[in-house]
Amino acid sequence: MIGEEGALLNVVNDNKIIIPLHKPGLKEKYFFLFSGLVVSIPITFFVNIFSSHLCFLLPVFYSELCAVGFFAPFIEEFSKAYPLFYRHGETEKSIFILGFLVGLGFGLTEFFIYVFGGAPVSIRLPGIFFHAASTSITAYGIATNRAIQFYLLATALHLSYNFFVAFGDLFWFIVAYAFLIMTYFLSWHLYHKTSERAAGSVQFS
């Protein structure tokens, strides 16, 4: 419905509010990219500290594997997707793009944190787009009203990638990069499945 000044209004029909479709502009896209950049800082340090305390009884290698390979994927994937649950009137494609941007921002900040901490650039560089791809997978689930399934899928891919990278040997790197490529491809595939239809709402009951 159009208001007197040409503004789109919500319409109440049979006790339901009809929200007009909204496509995020450039400023909103920058905001979601920036939110990923910002949220990465506390989450990265929190995961390292919190999960290390939970895994302190294990030997050093297994403690790191427990922290990075197990706890990090669950916490990070939820943290990245969290802002998307409260977007209304978005299309499937716009939710997917916003998820990709949040993940991209998260990956960029994490990249610089680890590289400045001494991690090899070659190891950390693929993670930038891995975070973007994995978050977009969860975003697809939110957009199609299957948030839990696709969150768990993104988490499983993240967990698998982290787990095999942690071993460090060439063979395990190859396995890890197989999961990396799989995540990239799945993100690309799901993007082409999105449409300009209204994104589905998440049902918890």
Q: How far apart are CA 106 and CA 18, in angstroms?
A: 33
Rg of the chain taking only CA atoms, in angstroms: 19
Asked if residue 184 lies in contact with residue 102, where contact means CB atoms within 8 angstroms, the answer is: no
Q: How far apart are CA 100 and CA 188, in angstroms?
A: 11
> Tens digits of per-residue pLDDT, 162-193?
888 877 777 778 999 999 999 999 999 999 99
> Tens digits of per-residue pLDDT, 97-110?
999 999 999 999 99
- Neighbouring CB atoms inside 10 A of 120's CB total 9
Please report, rounded to a whole number, the percentage of residues in the chain having pLDDT higher than 90.
40
Residue with tokens 């799945």, as numbered in its chain? 186
Q: How far apart are CA 139 and CA 92, in angstroms?
A: 9
pTM: 0.81
**What is the amino acid identity at position 112?**
F
